[in-house]
Amino acid sequence: MPIAVDIDVMLAKRKMSVGELADRVGITPANLAVLKNGRAKAVRFATLAALCEVLECQPGDLLRWEAENTADADVSDNGRETPVGTGA
């Protein structure tokens, strides 16, 4: 997924446990783990705001965009992706 979650980085900087953060934000440790490990499909703005408030950070400190791996495909002149090495 192109969105990386850096909650663990902020937890380390704040010397805070996952359990403590979950308690202070008001979500379950299991749901926080899903978010922290990048398995969440969505995050509510209210949850993101609570995380930022407790961790005293900005949303960009917790979430960042990473380009997906494009080493396996080239984009041809017509804008369609073609696999590398096919000669297409």
* 85/79 Cα distance (integer angstroms): 17
* pLDDT at res. 68: 84
Helix crossing, 29-36 with 7-14: angle to 10°? 120
Question: In the predicted model, what is the mean pLDDT of residues 33-40?
Answer: 94
Query: Given a cut of 70, is residue 57 above it in pLDDT?
Result: yes
* pLDDT at res. 79: 54
Stated pTM of the model: 0.74
Q: Mean pLDDT over all residues of the chain?
A: 86
Q: By three-state DSSP, how is residue 56 classified?
A: coil
Question: Which of 87 and 54 is assigned the larger pLDDT?
Answer: 54
* 24/82 Cα distance (integer angstroms): 48
* pLDDT at res. 69: 76
